[in-house]
Every structure is written in structure tokens, then in C-alpha cells.
Amino acid sequence: MTVEQLCKEAIIALGYFKPDDVSWLAKSIKTQLPKDSSSNIAARVRKRGRKMNKEQLKAAGLRGNVVFAIEAFERLTPKGKADPLTAYHDTIARIGWNFNRQVKADHLGKTKIYQEVKVFSQTAYNCAAGRALHGKVYRKDQAPGFPLTGCPNAWCNCTWEGVYVPIRHRQRPAP
């Protein structure tokens, strides 16, 4: 998935941003994604542009010492405006987790040691659909992508790990 696709998935799943802001968000985080934490990226993105004054911050329900750009606030839906700091943090955290999971999937796809993957999603933070897959083994090219469709969590904790399956070699002819 591209960064734009990851942004679209997070925006649709969480509903904090307007759907037409996918390209703006992707452009804002594209170069920062592999290099920094989601919290730092979210802070930089929401601070870019003309800042809100104390009265605007108070009207938005934010503390007076918070730095928030007017444009960044206007891009939020009513759900996002109800808690703007969480909206930025959770959306970018979901994008970051999915980006890192994709890097891991690419690595597993390239290595020949692992032919199968096992799903791990047993914690209380996982959605019901993820917990139902816990312990199941898939061929690595058929493993489910996370987050699963309909996952209500801000960011998905489901993952998979490679399962070592010995590759059977051809039998040597008897001497």
C-alpha cells in the first residue's frame, strides 16, 4: 500500500478527518513516516501554518499552551474537533503502525526461511475479528492484512510472525 492508501484507510476507519484530505495528509507525513515516531509527526503536522490564538484554543476546548494551526483544526470533522489532539495522534499512529507492518510483511515476503505466518492477536486491545484469528497459520502470500476490515480500534495490535517450515530438498541418489 502507498502512503496515500494508508492515509485513506485511517481517515475512513477513524472518521476524524474529512475524506478529501487524504492527499494533504499523505503529503504532510510522507517523508517523516519511516524516520520518526507518530507522536512527533502528529505534533509537527498540527502545528504547521498560522497558529490559533488563546480565544480560538479555548473555544476549541484546548489548553492555552497547546500549539495548533488554524488549517489543521479546520481539516477535522466534528468528531475530530471534539478531541483534536487525539484525532491527530490516533490517525497518524494508525498510519504509522500499518506502514511498519507493511515493511515487516515485505521483509517476510522476501525471506525464504518463512513459508508461513502465524497470527498473534490475543490481547484485550484487539478487536473480536482479530482475536478469532489468533493462532491460525497461513501461507505468507495468503496472510490477512491488518487492520481487518471493520476494526474499531484506533490502531491495530494484531500481527503475524514467520513460522519456520523446513523446505524439503530433493533426495540425493544412492551412491
Q: DSSP for 86-114? A: HHHHHHHHHHHHHHHHHHHHHHHHH-SSE
The domain boundary residue, chosen from 84, 110, 136: 110
The domain boundary residue, chosen from 110, 138, 153: 110
Q: Are residues 15 and 80 in the same domain?
A: yes
**Percent share of the chain, pLDDT over 70:** 86
The domain boundary residue, chosen from 86, 110, 134: 110
Mean pLDDT within 122-126: 73
Strand partners, 166: none
Residue 59 pLDDT more than 80?
yes
| Radius of gyration over every alpha carbon of the chain, rounded to an integer in angstroms | 20
pTM: 0.75
Q: Are residues 56 and 70 in the same domain?
A: yes
Q: How many domains does the chain have?
A: 2
Distance between CA atoms of residues 156 and 100, nearest Å? 12
- Cα of 165 vs its chain's centroid, Å: 29
Q: Are residues 104 and 146 in the same domain?
A: no
Which one has a higher pLDDT value, 92 or 111? 92
* Domain carrying residue 14: 1-110
